[in-house]
Structure 1
Amino acid sequence: MPIDVAEAIAAEPRETDLAWDHKDVQLYHLGLGAGSVPGRRDAATDPDELRYTLESRLHVLPSFATVAGGALAAGGGLSAPGIDVDLAAVLHGGQRIELHRPLPVAGRATQTARVAAVHDKGKAAVIVLRSEVADADGPLWTSDTQIYVRGEGGFGGERGPSARLELPDRTPDLTVERPIRPDQALLYRLSGDWNPLHADPEFAKLAGFDKPILHGLCSYGMALKAVVDTALDGDVARVRSYSTRFAGVVFPGETLRVRMWRTESENGRRIQVSVTAVERDDAPVLADTVIEPV
């Protein structure tokens, strides 16, 4: 069987050294569209945007954890013992990050990764890779990456969670739109995801798309920046955790519509988010999306 669940879960955690500096953070923020505000020709010098682009004022968006050190969590999960799958059948299904403290502008840390679960969805399997990252001062973040593998289900394992999060039946508290530049995927991929699906038209056609698509984790970061800038007073330190399910593709040149609802749960306050593609009748991009503030 391509996935040996027992072997994958029992395997020793793999450690990877991570390192980054202010240039990596700035490049990541630029890949999310920092320094550009719709309708603002002076956006590059806007004080709110300089927090993402100018090293003397820099803070770090928590979603930077998905690219810190250039490490790609999904790729690491697919190289784990017991995992042998066709990369063409792989999709990034979901992402969650829990922050233990604000991310430093520059750092050296150790990532410890393991396969936490393999769920049997019938026609597919979902591999959950858990990564824990710490530096000399202690834990920094924990992330769960869900890797959806078509055709690898039906092995008799646990199905895992499948509940969907309903959006509030009322007008959003906040709605913003964020345009995706035509060259944005080309810039974002410099942070470490070199998949040609996001740059090469011929490769995109082989994968079933008319043209290259934007990285899911770029949409993930853009949505978080929109929430931080509008609902959290621009304070990245107020993000405790951020989770999403990748519900559909978006193309460079389109526009993300980000809707936000302030709600309560048994764990306290949270912000529920819906992200859709404006030009395709609000086709879903991110779903089941929740930010838990500090």
Structure 2
Amino acid sequence: MPIDAAKALAAGPRHGEIHWDHKDVQLYHLGLGAGAPATDPRELRYTLESRLHVLPSFATVAGAGMAMLGGLSAPGIEVDLASVLHGGHALTLHRPIPVTGRATTTSTVAAVHDKGKAAVIVLRSEATDAEGPLWTSDAQIYVRGEGGFGGERGPSVRSEPPARAPDLTEERPVREEQALLYRLSGDWNPLHADPEFARTAGFDRPILHGLCSYGMTLKAVADTVLGGDLSRIRAYRTRFAGVVFPGETLRIRMWREPGRVLAEVSAVERDDAPVLADTVVEHA
């Protein structure tokens, strides 16, 4: 069924309640590969409840990610999951995320772009708790075969790195079972677990969640450039430029600029095939 862009954009906001505690945060961090080495004090801030801090990208899975996923069932949108890919993600942090929390989410379809052979749906989720706004999250959902409806193409946001060698390069392994662990945080798309489903979507085996690569990259930037101080992160955006298969290694190149870090991510084992592009972490 074609996307009805006008109906989707005119639909009222959807409200929900989400909550989380330290176990949800720890599970998310473990799904990103945190905890290696297990006794490293720098890793314990992600895994030990008495020292726990929240990586801001946890916002993408808080409440099992229902605020974002609910947007795919908004009026005017009916899509086949086998045709859906996460095209990009942008996150704005209004203050640090607490280890235990309860929030109200407001979800809207912020835009529907016509890319010709595909549509891009921008799903916006805003979370607010008793103390005020927590985060604003924009998911750019790429739906193959749903373009050509005569809509606007939308903006093209590019953040090319400087024409010089990166200031830092990190390599982060993706474990064979990492997608199976990450999906326990709420993204149950069988594309990341079921080989038969993956083949129907055009892949020879399940792929890693784009948001897992997204979280792994933010952790690498936080651990290196920001010295592990997660409270300094203000915003984070990326474009998903290619897939990652469990068992591969992410190569994360970083360039420091005033108030921000630019990054590019590639898959080492496939001759640095692109994974994340136009990646920017804004910080205090």
State the TM-score, normalized to the length of structure 1.
Answer: 0.94
* Contact kept in structure 2, 1:66 and 1:72, CA below 8 Å: no
Local SS of the residue matching 2:165 = coil
Which structure 2 residue ranges, 5 or more long, are not aligned?
none
In the aligned structure 2, how far is the partner of 1:99 from the partner of 1:275?
22
Percent identity over paired residues: 77
CA RMSD in angstroms comes to 1.2
* Contact kept in structure 2, 1:73 and 1:145, CA below 8 Å: no
Local SS of the residue matching 1:71 = helix
Mapping for residues 132-147 of structure 1, pairs under 5 Å: 132-147=126-141
In the aligned structure 1, how far is the partner of 2:101 from the partner of 2:56?
14
What is the number of residues matched between the two proteins?
A: 284
* Contact kept in structure 1, 2:176 and 2:247, CA below 8 Å: yes
Tell me which stretches of 4 or more aligned residues in structure 1 moved more than 4 Å.
none
The offset of 1:162, in angstroms, is 2.0
Residue of structure 2 in register with 1:5 after alignment = 5
Question: Which deviations, in whole Å up to 9, do the C-alpha atoms of 1:180-214 show, x marking residues without a partner?
Answer: 11111111111011122211222222222222111
Residue of structure 2 in register with 1:292 after alignment = 282
Residue of structure 2 in register with 1:39 after alignment = none
* Contact kept in structure 1, 2:81 and 2:189, CA below 8 Å: no
* Contact kept in structure 1, 2:236 and 2:281, CA below 8 Å: yes
Residue of structure 1 in register with 2:143 after alignment = 149
* Contact kept in structure 1, 2:83 and 2:201, CA below 8 Å: no
The offset of 1:147, in angstroms, is 0.8
In the aligned structure 2, how far is the partner of 1:60 from the partner of 1:50?
12
Question: Which deviations, in whole Å up to 9, do the C-alpha atoms of 1:143-198 show, x marking residues without a partner?
Answer: 10101111222222111112432221101011000011111111111101112221
Question: Which deviations, in whole Å up to 9, do the C-alpha atoms of 1:229-268 show, x marking residues without a partner?
Answer: 000010111110000011111111110000100125xxxx
1:110 and 2:100 matched: no
1:236 to 209, 213, 230: 230
1:85 and 2:85 matched: no
Kindly provide the amino acid, as one letter, of the partner of residue 12 in structure 2. E
* Contact kept in structure 2, 1:276 and 1:284, CA below 8 Å: yes
Local SS of the residue matching 2:247 = coil
Kindly provide the amino acid, as one letter, of the partner of residue 268 in structure 2. V
1:245 to 226, 239, 252: 239
In the aligned structure 1, how far is the partner of 2:149 from the partner of 2:132?
39
The offset of 1:73, in angstroms, is 4.5
State the TM-score, normalized to the length of structure 2.
Answer: 0.97
* Contact kept in structure 2, 1:74 and 1:147, CA below 8 Å: no
